Chain A
Amino acid sequence: MVNEVLDAARGEALKALDRAAPYGPDIDVREYLGLRVREPAKLEIGRVEGVGIDLRRARRTAMYMQVDDRVVESLSRLSGVEVTTVEDFIGNYPDIARELLWRLIKPGQDKYTAIAALKGVGGYYVRVKRGVKVSEPIQTCLFMASEGLQAPHNLVILEEGAEATIVTGCTIMPEVFGLHAGITEFYVMEGAKLSYVMIHAWNRGTHVRPRSAALLEDRASMVMYYMNLSRVKTLQTYPKVILKGNGSKVYASSIVLGRGGSVVDVGTEAVMVGDAASELVSRFVVKDRSRAWARARVSGVRGRGHIECKGLILSSKAALYSVPELGGTGRDVMLTHEASIGRIAEEEIAYLVSKGFSREEAEELIVRGFMNVEVRGLTGRMESYVKNVVRLMSRAAM
């Protein structure tokens, strides 16, 4: 039965291999269709740790690690938490798989979902059972060690009343070029709370097209942090959160740094079906010759939504475009947005220099402050971790 679902997805995907995404530079994905013979994948621990994965801790709790197409580790020592490969999940739970896989994201959505459906291998399945509250983060890592395509299909299920934090680090070896097109579907059931932190550290030759979507039931809440630590050739992602349930909430925060010649197009969309609340926050910093698009969209028939997009341009050749969109139907929805793009104020630099900092230190302090969004929904260690990543990003921006 599951094969039928996957075969149907592949059938749909075949028709979409040339379907460009509405946003971001268009990439020819057909070159990734051919069969590739890969060298045995190697894992560089330093790079994995650089995207927030604490392997020693993860091995004592719950984790998933994939290098290229090979699943290196997949385990859970936490009661009420399952972590396996998505292939094992399909084998173990064919009925659930048929119901949930490719439900929130359509394989024919664009050429990147299509290539993932046709050639993708691996991906994590995380399930936190009803009422289980996990204090330790569940850590997952997708690592590209050799050239080509990495397109895992991830599935996260938080059952009724469950609470968990998932950290996903995606990174690559410096000399390796390729396409990362991970698919992630989140199901956050009634009263469940999910915190999801995603850290990217790519290289200047990589194209990145993650496709994510979440479904939130009644009183479910989701907090999302996205941060990219290093340059990338092109990156385009626009996760969609469907707030189906009444009382459901999403807070999404993207902190994005454009460096070198990177082209970055990152946004979050919230669709409020129930009486819900959405808050989408972003901080973009661009330098060198990079170009970035900061997108956000909130639409709905009920509830409250707010978008806050702020950008800082640090070089005369960098460009930043902020595109907040609001769409409401009926009288029961209230949507607001604020957006700004600017540069570092000389007055602020001079002030900090008068307090004993060098100009470079002053700029770093201001950029760090700019990126310093409110950290919500994370426990002590994760909160410190997010702040530390912001510190690294502000240093990298200088």
Chain B
Amino acid sequence: MLKLELKEVVVSVKGGTVVRHADLRVAEGEVLYIIGPNGSGKTSLLRAVLGYPGYEVVSGRVLFDGEDLTDKPMEYRVKRGLAITHQIPPKISGVKVGDLLAEILRRRGSTSEFKGITEMLRIEHLLNRDLNRNFSGGELKRVEIALTMAQSPKLALIDEPDSGVDVESLRFVARGVKEILNRSPFKSIVIVTHTGLIAKYIPPTKVCVMKEGVLKECRLPDFLKRALSEGFG
């Protein structure tokens, strides 16, 4: 059964087209990778799916779990069970990592998960720090994954979990992404990557290439290795 479907989606940012054409189908139990070079429109597509302000779907439809979300605001889409882990999250002064994580869990009535999540992602030392301020690349990713895990979404859109992280951090990030996948009632996830490093831990079931704003036809998992070594063409 299809859980996320993009039909001929075109995305515009500040009046300029950043995604020229995207067709995508994410079925139950699917680990879908979107790969492609920098600047190909992968992040813009994920943000448009979530309804991020400024990322406008100018034509096409976004269907999620049987519902057309194209004209719905981000707040609604998140409530319906979509979530994103950001590639470059903003720094927010005074908002402490621990407080934010606790608040997300409290709203879900799952405060008991706090310790487990912080230990799994090795972010105990960051709990009293301002969100994303002076974090290393690995710390940024681990906190993002922790917050998404706390949200426990039906479908997570994971943006570049393996860029700018060291090998050690990648292991924890991958463990977290796997946990998000396990918690998904659909057992589905969408991962954007241009390095493919995370595939070692979470193998894809389908690989789609995005290039120059066009999401091309999706292929079988073994395409990933070839694409990363020989190019995305």
List chain A positions with a Cβ less than 8 A from chain B: 345-348, 350-356, 358-359, 365-366, 368-372
Contact = CB atoms under 8 A, between A and B. Distances in A.
B134 to A, nearest CB: 16
B93 A351 contact: no
Interface string B101-135: 00110010000000000000000000000110000
Nearest to A371: B94
A351 B94 contact: no
Interface string B79-113: 10001101001101111100010011001000000
A371 B96 CA distance: 12
Interface residues of B, number: 26
B94 A370 contact: yes
B74 interface: yes
B103 to A, nearest CB: 8
Given A346-B53, A354-B84, A359 B94 contact: no
B155 interface: no
B108 to A, nearest CB: 8
Contacts of B130: 369
A366 B104 contact: no
Contact of B90 (A347, A359, A368, A371): A347
Contacts of A370: 93-94
Contact of A369 (B75, B94, B104): B94
Given A346-B53, A350-B52, A351-B89, A356 B78 contact: yes
B93 A369 contact: yes
Contact of B92 (A346, A351, A371): A351
Contacts of A368: 94-95
B191 interface: no
A345 B93 CA distance: 11
Most buried by B among A345, A351, A371: A351
Given A354-B52, A354-B83, A366 B75 contact: no
B94 A353 contact: no
Given A346-B53, A350-B52, A350-B74, A355 B92 contact: no
B95 A356 contact: no
B147 interface: yes
A365 B95 contact: yes
A348 B147 contact: no
17 contacts: A350-B52, A350-B54, A351-B86, A351-B92, A353-B74, A354-B74, A354-B83, A354-B84, A355-B100, A359-B75, A366-B92, A366-B95, A368-B95, A369-B94, A369-B130, A372-B94, A372-B96
Contacts of B147: 355
A338 to B, nearest CB: 12
A355 B53 contact: no
Nearest to A349: B53
B90 A345 contact: yes
B142 to A, nearest CB: 15
Contacts of A365: 95, 100, 103
Most buried by A among B53, B92, B131: B92
Nearest to A346: B53
B42 to A, nearest CB: 17
A204 to B, nearest CB: 28
Given A353-B78, A354-B50, A355-B78, 5 more contacts: A354-B74, A354-B86, A356-B79, A365-B103, A369-B92
B70 interface: no
Contacts of B52: 350, 354
B44 interface: no
B151 interface: yes
Contact of A348 (B74, B92, B107, B151): B92
Contact of B104 (A345, A351, A355): A355
Contacts of B53: 346, 350
B3 to A, nearest CB: 19
B151 A355 contact: yes
Nearest to A283: B94
B84 A356 contact: no
B75 A353 contact: yes
A354 B94 contact: no
In the complex, the 3 A-B pairs of residues with the closest C-beta atoms, listed nearest first:
A369-B94, A372-B94, A369-B95
Nearest to B74: A353
A351 B83 CA distance: 11
A370 B53 CA distance: 23
Nearest to A373: B94
A72 to B, nearest CB: 38
A354 B94 CA distance: 19
Contacts of A351: 86, 89-90, 92
Contacts of B83: 354-356
Contacts of A350: 52-54, 74
A180 B50 CA distance: 53
Nearest to B95: A369
B90 A348 contact: yes
Interface string B43-83: 00000001011100000000000000000001100110001
A366 B130 CA distance: 11
B137 to A, nearest CB: 18
A358 B75 contact: yes
Nearest to B152: A356
B107 A356 contact: yes
Contacts of A372: 94-96
